[in-house]
Amino acid sequence: MKSSEKGLLAATVVIALVAAGYYGGLADRLRETWESVGASRQTVLEAQTRFLKVKKTLERETAVRKEYEQKVARHLPPRKPGLAPEGQFVEDVDALCRSASIPQAQIEPAQRLAIPGIQDYEYITVNVRVLNQPWDHVLPVLLKFHEKFFLIKTLNLNSVLDQPIVKMEISLARVVQVTEEERKQREEAKKAEERARSRVSAGEARND
């Protein structure tokens, strides 16, 4: 083989090797890009699926809230004219205790408690203490609480082994609807409190 032919062959081999390396690397890059595009497409599809699920849930929010309000409303007692829901709850608890032959139940003043994530309804809670009562008086009153759809927040029962009496401490709750009037009163009270804080801050600033 002539030297010129050998040189041409060597150059051809070098070019072929370089081309193979280049196109091989290009193929690898193309494959990586394609896989990346495929992964991105899969990610987009998963995100779209999650979005559609969230969208569907949000669309059902109104229906779910309405259904919840209807179920709650069925168990809410009618409000007595001139009596706050807190006072009404205390009266109802006392009446049930008396009907179960517990005339001297110690009932603390009722309090409001927010329901997380709910604005239109709140809990009214009341603590009740019953001392030295027989079991056949305590058990019926618990059943009466259940029948009236009172929620039991906490319950502690203590008894003595050789005596048929029991001490009961129970925290009851009832769901109550927040009226528009109550909401306005709270907003006005909040604004008044903010104005009072502003006046105090302004007075402190002048003194400084």
Check pLDDT > 90 for residue 208: no
Give the per-residue pLDDT at 25: 53
Give the per-residue pLDDT at 14: 43
Helices 61-74 and 3-59, packing angle to 10 deg:
30
- Mean pLDDT, residues 173-198: 84
Give the per-residue pLDDT at 69: 61
Give the per-residue pLDDT at 20: 47
Q: What percent of the chain has pLDDT over 90?
A: 24
Q: What is the 3-state secondary structure (H, E, C) of 149-177?
A: CCEEEEEEEEECCCCCEEEEEEEEEEEEE
Kindly report the length of the chain.
208
Give the per-residue pLDDT at 175: 87
Give the per-residue pLDDT at 16: 47
| Pairwise pLDDT comparison (13 vs 184), residue with the higher score | 184
Please list, in sequence order, all residues whose beta carbon lies within 8 angstroms of the beta carbon of residue 142, skipping any fewer than 6 positions away: 170
71-127 tens-digit pLDDT: 666 767 777 888 889 999 999 999 999 998 898 899 999 999 888 877 788 899 999
Q: What is the phi/psi pair of residue 136, to 5°? A: -75, -5
Structure confidence at residue 169 as a pLDDT band (50, 70, 90): very high
Mode of pairing for the β-strands spanning 106-107 and 111-114: unpaired
Give the per-residue pLDDT at 125: 94
Structure confidence at residue 132 as a pLDDT band (50, 70, 90): confident
